[in-house]
Chain A
Amino acid sequence: MDKQHFFEGTPDPRNASLAQWLQELLAQPPQPPRPERTSIVETSGALKEEYHPRFYTQLPDFAAALLANDPDVMVRYAPLLYHLLGCRACHSAYLEIYDALWAARASGDTSPFPDIGQHKLAATPSRMLVYLCQLLISQARAVLVQSRHEHTDNDELARSLLRQAMQMSAHIMQGTQRQRALRDLVEVAVLAQGASAGQQDAQAQSYSAQVVDAAGSRRGKVLRRADMLERPAEDVFLELQSGALKGRIVQRGEMLELQLDGLNASWRGHHVLVRVPLGSLLEPVRWLGGNPWAIRSQSPVDEHGSLKTPIGYTDLHLSDPEDYNLLEAMFKKLDLRPAE
């Protein structure tokens, strides 16, 4: 390959000062270097500032146009070129992608396929699953930030990435790892669902599902995964917590029932509205009333401050470990407030 490519034209040294000015004009703020020996699961969210989705995603097509000697490449990708001269992170990604594409094209169709067989997620180290979930969530965040900045709508893509993260996390059997994988899920999901989703009602009570830890225990009670399969479905439940208050989601056949105790005295005798902010991300639950953000309780809070109400129907089974994990992710946040 020649050093000079014809689409570049002839760089004129007389423009050196203008070029330098452009570089200073378009320079992205430098990022602090990552500490060496930091594991991948601790750095997956660290690219928030230096990742520019609009430009990064153009890199394969840009590199392909260069490799094809497309004469229009400078014109067509002008905004990207202006970006690359000021963004070292994207420029470095460009070099990598160009080189890998070059190698891919040079290999033609003659390369042998790798002999790695088919593998199941159960055999994948949990840290790689945690890493993927974190990446998908941080990708969703980057897409949303860009959309807000450019006044475009990419909410569906962000929601799809979050959905994918929840589904992948269901295969992580260690509770602490699962918690780590979905650390930023609620925050990004609220962003994805617009400003109204993030509004906090002063009267609302927020619960979150308690994660079963690595040994399968939940605050002293041991719930071994193998045991879960042998126990009647109604004996397996998701524990919810809001400060000192406890609650649970139990399953009766296809029905998911919310059980809460110790509710505010002023709520007694009143119906409540249940909101499951992540409920609209996954389809497997058919929410009572159709809207997971406003599920009206079937009965009022009783005189002891307790409530038992169905909230939806599902084909998932709490007794199945992966289904359990998926429902646990969905109930990472559950809000309650008195109905009008």
Chain B
Amino acid sequence: MPFTARDLRYHLEENYASLCIYLQQRAQRYLGQLAYDAFEVDQVVGHVIEQLTRLGLLGAGDKTPLTELDRLSPAQFYAFLNRSARNKAIDRLRKHRVPTNTLAELERQGEAEDENNPLDTVVESLWGNIPFPTPEETALAVASHEHLRNLLKRCIESLRAAPRQLQAVLRELEEMGAQDLLHVIEQELGVTEEPLEHASQHKDHAHKKLRHCLQQSSTNLAVMLALRLSEYEPISNGEAIIEIQVLARNNLSEKEVRMGLKHLDTEGLLSWHGEDTVRLSPAQRKRLARYYEEGE
């Protein structure tokens, strides 16, 4: 066995040569009539090497967290590299407008030679039935998913510190006909319509904040935790006491729980300063439930 994912992570110097040779062989095999064009071979080999570097595998040692690639068996890892090289080769062939029948022929040859080759209809679509196949379909899935809409709602509501920016975004929601979302936010925040000058400027500032908020892990963790916390029933005096370890379940680490709690504390929804338990008053539980719910 020439090398493994672990070897590339911890012993790159000893294994880089073998990685290059392997990828070069794969590239030549899948490049068909371009197999003897050194430039094209380099494009394929370079692409996979770049991907492995960007994913934090090549030479990263213990400095990056392990990913699914590290958990693949050696045989699966080779299959991963093989497929990556093959996909890039097909991409290069397409750029050169290799006739469709030649490309299909290449695929059929590959399928005969490689075991368990799941590529369906390369000519039609390289990506077949992959979830979220385009940014557009991803956007529609996101806009239709309850949790992700809640996240959007939270991010829009966090603009309340800048009322004009909030108003600019609410106007956009109204213009695009997102009445349900608009209605919930207006009800929760008690927003009243006022004349808005320099709307475009306020909108730009608001968009910048929304972009940041929506892609922040801490925002998402806060929304996830708000839901989990609101599910706990009070024990005594109407107060609920929840241990952090109990909150860390279903793929949520204790570190993530603490990050989410810190975010909720910053937003004033609970009072938590790094303790191992969270105490919630009835009023706080109610606010947390409202924080998560989108409303009807």
* Chain A interfacial positions (CB closer than 8 Å to B): 1-3, 5, 7-13, 15-23, 25-26, 36-37, 39-40, 44, 47, 51, 53, 55-57, 59-61, 63-64, 66, 70, 72, 74-76, 78-79, 81-88, 91, 93-114, 116-121, 123-125, 127-129, 131-132, 135-136, 139, 156-157, 160-161, 164, 167-168, 171
B266 within 8 A of A: no
Main SS of the interface on chain B?
helix
Interface contact B115-A111, CB-CB below 8 Å? yes
Interface contact A53-B46, CB-CB below 8 Å? no
3 residue pairs, one from A and one from B, having the closest CB atoms: A40-B46, A107-B79, A119-B17
Taking CB as reference atom, which chain A residue is nearest B119?
Answer: A103
Bound form: Cα–Cα A12–B115 in Å? 39
Interface contact B64-A128, CB-CB below 8 Å? no
B279 within 8 A of A: no
Can you report 20 A-B residue pairs in the complex whose CB atoms are below 8 A from each other? Answer: A11-B141, A15-B178, A18-B176, A18-B178, A19-B140, A20-B176, A23-B135, A36-B95, A60-B55, A64-B71, A88-B135, A96-B84, A103-B83, A109-B73, A118-B2, A119-B20, A128-B46, A132-B49, A135-B50, A135-B58
Do A81 and B138 form a contact, CB below 8 Å, given A9-B144, A56-B54? Answer: yes
Set A56, A61, A123, A161: member contacting B68, Cβ < 8 A: A61
B142 within 8 A of A: yes
Interface contact A95-B142, CB-CB below 8 Å? no
Interface contact B144-A1, CB-CB below 8 Å? no
Taking CB as reference atom, which chain A residue is nearest B88?
Answer: A96
Taking CB as reference atom, which chain A residue is nearest B45?
Answer: A128
Do A114 and B219 form a contact, CB below 8 Å, given A9-B141, A18-B143, A104-B79? Answer: no
Do A104 and B80 form a contact, CB below 8 Å, given A99-B130, A110-B75, A111-B75? Answer: yes
Do A121 and B63 form a contact, CB below 8 Å, given A40-B46, A82-B148, A94-B132? Answer: no
Interface contact B143-A96, CB-CB below 8 Å? no
Taking CB as reference atom, which chain A residue is nearest B217?
Answer: A79
* Chain B interfacial positions (CB closer than 8 Å to A): 1-2, 12-13, 16-18, 20-22, 25, 39, 42-43, 45-46, 49-51, 53-56, 58-61, 63-65, 67-69, 71-84, 87, 95, 115-119, 126-148, 151-152, 172-173, 176-178, 181, 207, 210-211, 214-217, 219-220, 223-224, 250-252
Taking CB as reference atom, which chain A residue is nearest B172?
Answer: A21
Interface contact B80-A100, CB-CB below 8 Å? yes
Question: What are the residues of chain B within 8 A of A13 when measuring CB–CB?
Answer: 140
Interface contact A110-B116, CB-CB below 8 Å? yes
Question: What are the residues of chain B within 8 A of A76 when measuring CB–CB?
Answer: 224, 251-252
Question: What are the residues of chain A within 8 A of B173 when measuring CB–CB?
Answer: 18
Set A61, A102, A118: member contacting B67, Cβ < 8 A: A61
Interface contact B80-A101, CB-CB below 8 Å? yes
Bound form: Cα–Cα A57–B53 in Å? 10
Question: What are the residues of chain B within 8 A of A51 when measuring CB–CB?
Answer: 54
Bound form: Cα–Cα A11–B138 in Å? 9
Question: What are the residues of chain B within 8 A of A96 when measuring CB–CB?
Answer: 51, 84, 87
